[in-house]
C-alpha cells in the first residue's frame, strides 16, 4: 500500500495440531506471538514431510487447472477443510474468480515442505473478447496435510494501483527463483524475524534505519513500484521519512521460509492508524527476497479497495 501501517505485535497463528503416529507428525504452520520477550516470531517447523517441493507444486498445478476449468473434482481435500475468499468463509470453488477465469497470464508459485504451505500469485482474465475482458490480481494460500488441502485463503482484486493494470504482468521476477550462495543465506528463524521487523517498521515500532535493507531493495505492489519511483521517490527505507507511510500491522502470520532461495512469505492485516484515516487498510500478502541478511526485494498482493479481515486467526471461529 502506498502508505503502510503496522502496530504492536500480534502474530496470529492457529493452534498447531500434532498428530503423532509411527509415520510422522502433521501440523499447521504457526508462529508464536511476535510480542514475545525476544520480539522474534517463532516458526513451528512442523509440516507434512511426505509432501516435498514437487508434491506441493503439483497440488498448486492441480488447483490452478481447477480454477481455469471451474471444476474442483480432482482436488484432494481434507474432511475439515476451511476456505475463505476475500476474508469471507465460503465453499471451495465459489470465490469471485471461479467460473469467470479463462486464462492465467502471470504465474508465480512458492512452497515450503517444512510447513506444508503452498502459495500462488497470479493475474487472471475472463478474456471473452478484447473490448469486454476483465482482469484480476489474485493470490491463494494453501495448507497441505497428508497430501490433502486443509486450508484455502484466496484474495482477488479487479482494480489497479498507480495506473498499473493487472494485464501488464506476465513473467514473475526470476530473482525469487535464484538460489543464493551458502554463506549469504539466513536461517528459517532469521528469515521470519526479518519479515517481522519489516512489519514493525510499517507499524512504526522500530526506526527504518534499524531494518536490514539491501542497497538494491525494491518494493512492488500489485505490479507497481512503490519505492524509487514517481509514485514514491524514497527508497525501501527512505519512504518511511513520510510520517503517513504507516499502518498498524496486526494478525501477523508466517508461512514460508526458503533458506536456499532466501525467501520468506508472510501475511498481515494492515489496519488504518487513527491519525491517518485515509490510509486504506487491507490484508496484505508479502513476499521478501533476503540475501546477506538484507531485504533485497518485496512483492505485495492485496485487495486495493480494502479488506478489513482475513478470516484467519482473528478470534473465535476464524
Q: What are 121's strand-pairing partners?
A: 108, 139
| In contact, 111 and 257? CB cutoff 8 Å | no
Q: What is the assigned CATH class of domain 53-171?
A: alpha beta
How far is residue 83's CA from residue 75's CA, in Å, rounded to a whole number?
A: 13
Parse the chain into domains and list their residue ranges: 53-171
Residue 132 buriedness (CB in 10 A; 0-12 / 13-18 / 19+): exposed
* Contact present, 22 and 251 (Cβ < 8 Å): no
Sign of the four-CA dihedral 217, 142, 123, 200: negative
Predicted pLDDT of residue 46: 42
Nearest to 265 by CA among 300, 307, 214: 300
Do residues 218 and 288 make contact, with C-beta atoms less than 8 angstroms apart? Answer: no
CA distance 191 to 294: 10
pTM of the model: 0.83
Q: What's the average pLDDT block by block, 10 residues per block, for the chain (318 residues)?
A: 40 34 34 38 45 97 98 98 97 96 94 98 86 89 97 92 72 92 98 98 97 97 90 93 97 98 98 96 98 97 93 82
Beta bridge partners of 88: 85
pLDDT confidence of residue 162: 63
Residues 264/286, Cβ–Cβ less than 8 Å: no
Residue 248 has what pLDDT? 98
pLDDT of residue 163: 60
Amino acid at each position: 500500500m502506498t502508505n503502510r501501517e503496522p502496530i504492536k505485535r500480534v502474530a496470529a497463528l492457529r493452534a498447531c495440531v500434532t498428530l503423532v503416529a509411527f509415520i510422522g507428525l502433521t501440523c499447521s504452520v504457526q508462529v508464536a506471538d511476535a510480542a514475545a520477550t525476544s520480539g522474534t516470531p517463532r516458526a513451528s517447523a512442523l509440516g507434512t514431510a511426505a509432501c516435498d517441493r514437487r508434491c506441493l507444486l503439483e497440488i498448486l498445478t492441480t488447483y490452478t487447472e481447477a480454477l481455469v476449468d471451474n471444476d474442483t473434482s480432482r482436488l484432494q481435500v481434507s474432511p475439515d477443510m476451511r476456505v475463505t475468499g476475500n476474508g469471507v468463509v465460503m465453499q471451495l470453488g465459489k470465490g469471485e474468480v471461479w467460473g469467470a477465469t479463462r486464462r492465467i497470464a502471470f504465474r508465480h508459485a512458492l512452497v515450503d515442505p517444512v510447513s506444508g504451505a503452498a502459495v500462488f500469485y497470479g493475474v487472471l482474465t475472463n478474456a471473452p473478447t478484447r473490448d469486454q475482458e476483465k482482469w484480476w490480481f489474485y493470490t491463494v494460500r494453501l495448507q497441505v496435510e497428508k497430501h490433502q488441502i486443509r486450508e484455502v485463503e484466496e484474495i482477488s482484486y479487479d482494480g489497479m494501483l498507480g495506473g498499473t493494470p493487472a494485464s501488464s504482468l506476465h513473467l514473475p521476477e526470476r530473482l525469487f527463483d535464484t538460489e543464493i550462495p551458502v554463506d549469504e543465506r539466513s536461517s528459517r528463524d532469521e528469515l521470519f524475524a526479518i519479515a517481522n521487523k519489516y512489519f514493525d517498521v510499517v507499524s512504526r515500532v522500530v526506526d527504518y534505519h534499524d531494518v536490514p535493507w539491501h542497497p538494491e531493495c525494491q518494493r512492488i505492489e500489485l505490479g507497481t513500484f512503490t519505492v524509487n519511483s514517481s509514485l514514491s521517490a524514497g527508497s525501501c527505507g527512505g519512504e518511511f521519512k513520510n510520517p503517513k507511510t504507516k499502518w498498524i500491522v496486526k494478525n501477523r502470520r508466517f508461512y514460508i521460509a526458503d533458506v536456499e532461495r532466501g525467501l520468506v512469505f508472510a501475511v498481515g492485516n494492515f489496519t488504518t492508524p487513527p491519525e491517518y484515516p485515509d490510509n486504506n487498510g487491507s490484508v496484505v500478502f508479502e513476499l521478501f527476497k533476503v540475501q546477506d541478511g538484507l531485504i533485497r526485494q518485496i512483492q505485495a498482493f492485496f485487495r486495493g479497495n480494502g479488506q478489513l479481515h482475513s478470516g484467519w486467526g482473528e478470534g473465535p471461529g476464524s
